[in-house]
Amino acid sequence: MKLIEDFGFELRKIIDKSGFHKPTYDELLATLNDLARAQYGEGVNTASHTPLGKLLELLAYYGLQMIEDIEDLYNSKSIFKSEGQALIDNLADRLITPLEATKASGYLTITTEGRVSLKKGTTFRGGNANVLYQTLEQYDFKSAGEYDIFVESLEFGDEGNARAHTIKTIVTPTRNLLSVTNHEPFVNGQAKETDEELKDRYERSRSISGSRRIEAIEANILQRVTGVRDVVVLENVEMEEVNGIPPKAIHTIFDGGDGKEVARIVYEKKAAGIQAYGKQTYEFENKRGVKNIIGVTESEDKPVWVKVTTLVARDYDKERGERLIERAVYEYIGGYLNDDKYQGVSMGGTLYITQLEAKIMTDVDGLLDIKVELSSDGETYERKNMTSDSYESFLIEGIEVVANVAEL
């Protein structure tokens, strides 16, 4: 049928030197109507109730389905447009593969008052998201004292990460076991990398080849060190101290991840003759036996309390509203809520009252008005922006929601 042949010829025009051009259903149907009139005359009836009209609608529908399949194939060759296995295949020849989910792990210090036997699978609870951790082998201690044991979270993902001294609950009853804690943070748990995260990592990796640039140090740390959520490298190019950084030195500040691995990358990538300053120091030895001291700094928590006062209608669901407001606050500021991690404001960033109010108003239905106040001590609240230093990450200590019913 010549009409179908002509339609097939028109479909070839969706790809040209300028890229892929996807028509809409209405545009395809209009093209088919033009082809029908060109073949059968201007007076041909192509209304949807006629046999020809129904045929044209079917051709437009299935033509669009075919175009969408072609579009998927076309995009599958582009790193930034491909998804799933196509994205993985595109990055394979660049030696970049998606990061699989890992379990957080580390050492707990237990205190005993006598002989203690811990079976494989002995469990403890705590961490940032109050999750379970278990031993991977059996431990036998013959006398009272403090001992280190290795544990791993039961679940995959970054919800198993834990700040120091947050794993304190003994779940499996054990004779003579008095207490438990983690002196060091657990930072190696991570969720499976999404397509968008993989694309972001690929984009960052493209600056890695410039090994002496500040951006390259940051990119390498973000890509290669598990658990790092944010990093900033500050540089002092002057011959005198500036903002606490020695002359001709860099200061690497990181949030999450293992400090020694961060320092190792700084050691590999920094320019010769440049000092690596930081609060935590690590020693590395080169091939000639020369020892180098590398300093980095782990970010500090900047506590923030949030008070949200709303004006609502009488039929407003306060319980649901509080949950949505809490989530909106965490999404904006960052932190752990239930099993979810939110990036939020970066180190050295600013919490803007108006931005947080706008986000809550957008995310929560039924609010007539809103006022957000912040506090650094949990007592004095102000409707004032809050800024963290370059080595600080915001930590939400509390959220108070007050819902006032409007008088109608």
pLDDT at 208 over 50: no
Handedness of CA 109, 138, 191, 160 (dihedral sign): negative
pLDDT of residue 207: 47
pLDDT at 297 over 80: yes
**SS3 state at 300:** strand
Confidence of residue 209 (pLDDT cuts 50, 70, 90): very low
Cβ 174 vs Cβ 122: under 8 Å: yes
Confidence of residue 181 (pLDDT cuts 50, 70, 90): very high
Six-digit token pair at 136? Answer: 């991977």
User: What is the average pLDDT score of the chain?
Assistant: 84
Q: What is the DSSP string of 91-147?
A: HHTTT--PPPPB--EEEEEEEESS-EEE-TT-EEEETTTTEEEEESS-EEE-SSEEE
Look up residue 269 and give its amino acid. K
pTM for the model stands at 0.46
Kindly state the average pLDDT of the residues 360-372: 89
Confidence of residue 76 (pLDDT cuts 50, 70, 90): low
d(CA 198, CA 95): 12
More confident site: 296 or 362: 296
**SS3 state at 167:** strand
For 112-158, what is each residue's pLDDT tens digit? 999 999 999 999 999 888 899 999 999 999 999 999 999 999 989 88
Give how far the C-alpha of residue 338 lies from the chain's centroid of Cα atoms, to the nearest Å: 15
CB burial string 354-377: b at 16+ within 10 A, e below: eebbebbeeebeebeebebbbbee
pLDDT of residue 65: 81
Kindly state the helix (H) or strand (E) to which residue 15 belongs, with its residue range.
Answer: strand 15-16
| Backbone phi and psi for residue 325, each to the nearest 5 degrees, phi listed first | -65, -45
Residue with tokens 């009488």: 314
